[in-house]
Chain A
Amino acid sequence: MEFLGLVNYALFMAIFIAIYALLVLGLNIQWGFAGLFNAGIAGFFAVGAYTSAILTTEAADGRIGGFDLHFVIGWIGAMIAAALVAWPIGKICLRFRSDYLAIASIGIAEIIRLVIKSEPALTNGARGIPGIPRPMSDIGYMESQVAYLIIVLAVLIAAYVLVERQFNAPWGRMMRAIRDNEDAAKAMGKDVEFRRLEAFIFGAALMGLGGALFAHFNRSITPEAIDPMVATFLVWIMLILGGSGNNRGAILGAAVVWIIWSVSEIATDRLPHEYAIQAKYIRLFLIGLMLQLVLRFRPEGLLPEPLRGDQRSAKDGADH
């Protein structure tokens, strides 16, 4: 029984790591490739989660949606919705320095949170949307967890392969050229604004997909699941710790930070009740401190961005 519990916990953790890894890959397209500071990850995550929930749940009284569609359509819808939200923000903010995008993306996340909390007709308000179908859930509990892990991993691997290919393709080289020297890229005739917008939208779409996978795993989505600061911040620290600009680093960072985050929760859950509440905030403080330490002592992260941008030459490059 104890053993089964452990396996179950490991499965649970692996699914979460894979979902977060998708979010981090999305952020890596935005920040690692294109140098765009998105501080509203939770917003795109939420848009994806709710869009897929509305598309795939059964009809319910008091709110629109309940189209009872296949989950694949829900997930595609989640990506499209997140991309559509990203488009106008990117369109307005990307011609300025990244600071403006940071502020505007915080704003968009806050407004999405407001919409979720105050539009029951769309999101069922504070109660959230229950009954989101999980693929392969009609088999046993453990089997269904394994099945979902396989689905999530398949999505993650597909996303990784696509992103990695783009990274080594001319598109990726161009993005990094724009990031590192905008003027030079412009002089080479690259449409800097359009390319940045492209990266921002692709990243947002992946974040939306991550949100959808999360909602379907939980079988429900409520406003509490989307803490604007924590959700955004965990993804950032995952990318910075793992190594921005490196897709494998992004996935590694997701695993390391999620393991630290959830193991520290187990540790603090054992504290007496009066300290347990404060322990939650101490964990947040330590996560913030971790970012400062990484920025100071290992800004390149665990797996640095490969030199010349080619993963195949990463080993030679690391010896410098």
Chain B
Amino acid sequence: MDLFELLNFYVIPGIVLGSIYALGAVGITLIFAILRYAHLAHGDLATLGAFIALAVVTTLGVSPLAALPVAIIATAAVAVGIDKVFYDHLRERPKIVTVMASLGIALMIRAVVQVVWGVDTETYSRGIVRPENYFGLRIRDREIYTVIAMLALVGVLHMFLTQSKWGKAMRAMSDNPNLALLSGIDNRKVVILTWVIAGGLCAASGFFLGLNTELKSMMGWHMLLPMFAAAILGGVGRVEGAVLGGLIVGIAEELSVLVIPSEYKAAMAFAILLFMLLVRPTGLLKGKVL
């Protein structure tokens, strides 16, 4: 196999898939670090975001990319609502109770998607998109959008977390919640903000998975493990770590097809997860271990 074949069929799809995982993993890592639990409904929230975008595309007839902002806002609102109704009152209980609740929420969100949109496979637009040829690299437009959108969203988030007052408050909550509360940070606002960011990124993640492949009601559930693997690989609480982890998991999944049967592609994320827990649980960029 020559270099171009490797790049075109494995590395580029891996980067695209990795960008999709990265978008979800950033949300997971923020929730893990700030609210301190593993949010198991993350994948299904991404499914919901993807299908909200589909609803916008089919009812308004706009292009998928125009539907993305609507999906981001709507999913962020849903995430805040879920937190208010279902997670908020569990805050004083052991964190693992919220993890359990989130497993139930995952089932509920998926049931809503299956009732509203059915269980058939859907796409944003019909027809085959031919890849463009860039000096031998074959790349589809939507693949470029995916990677650029990931970099832009994470870049804006990074600016927000490092420059703005509320971003700093979020980081303070993540580093030391007691000290943050003592210094007058409004816990509730930080929680809402965390859910807005995580929910919005979920929608983007689901949307781009739908754009690059298809929409299925189980798509998000299958993304959950790679997203967690990415978050832990990068180091819990590290946004840039989640991006790095997402890209590594995505590329590793695509490359794994060269050595193991393609049915077991999904096992790659699990192997990475266990391996990291075994050798370096803080992740590549030294995150937290809860």
Q: How far is B273's CA from A96's CA once the two chains are assembled, in angstroms?
A: 13
Judge whether B270 and A287 touch: CB under 8 Å.
no
Is B148 in the interface zone, CB < 8 Å from A?
A: no
Judge whether A111 and B270 touch: CB under 8 Å.
yes
8 Å CB contacts to A: which residues of B93-107? 93, 95-97, 99-101, 103-107
8 Å CB contacts to A: which residues of B204-238? 221-222, 224-225, 228, 232
Stretch among B67-75, B184-192, B260-268 lining the A interface: B260-268
A96-B281, A103-B38 known; A285+B115 contact, CB < 8 A:
yes
Is A264 in the interface zone, CB < 8 Å from B?
A: no
Report chain B residues within 8 Å CB of A167: none
Judge whether A106 and B111 touch: CB under 8 Å.
no
Report chain B residues within 8 Å CB of A278: 114-115
Report the minimal beta-carbon distance from B43 to chain A, rounded to whole angstroms: 10
Which range holds the interface residue count of chain A? Answer: 35 or more
How many chain B residues touch the partner (CB < 8 A)? 45
CB contact between A284 and one of B95, B107, B266 (< 8 Å): that residue: B107
Least CB separation from B102: chain A residue: A102
- Which residue, of B104, B105, B261, has the highest number of chain A Cβ atoms within 10 A? B104
Report chain A residues within 8 Å CB of B97: 295, 299
Judge whether B273 and A289 touch: CB under 8 Å.
no
Q: How far is B277's CA from A249's CA once the two chains are assembled, in angstroms?
A: 35
A37-B100, A39-B40, A296-B89 known; A103+B263 contact, CB < 8 A:
no
Q: How far is B57's CA from A191's CA once the two chains are assembled, in angstroms?
A: 57
Q: How far is B37's CA from A39's CA once the two chains are assembled, in angstroms?
A: 15
Least CB separation from B86: chain A residue: A292
Residues on B facing A (Cβ under 8 Å) = 32, 37-38, 40, 86, 89-90, 93, 95-97, 99-101, 103-108, 110-112, 114-115, 221-222, 224-225, 228, 232, 261, 263-264, 266-267, 269-270, 273-274, 277-278, 281, 289-290
Residues on A facing B (Cβ under 8 Å) = 35, 37, 39, 89, 92-93, 96-100, 102-104, 106-108, 110-111, 114, 117-118, 229, 233, 236-237, 240, 278, 281-282, 284-285, 287-289, 291-292, 295-296, 299
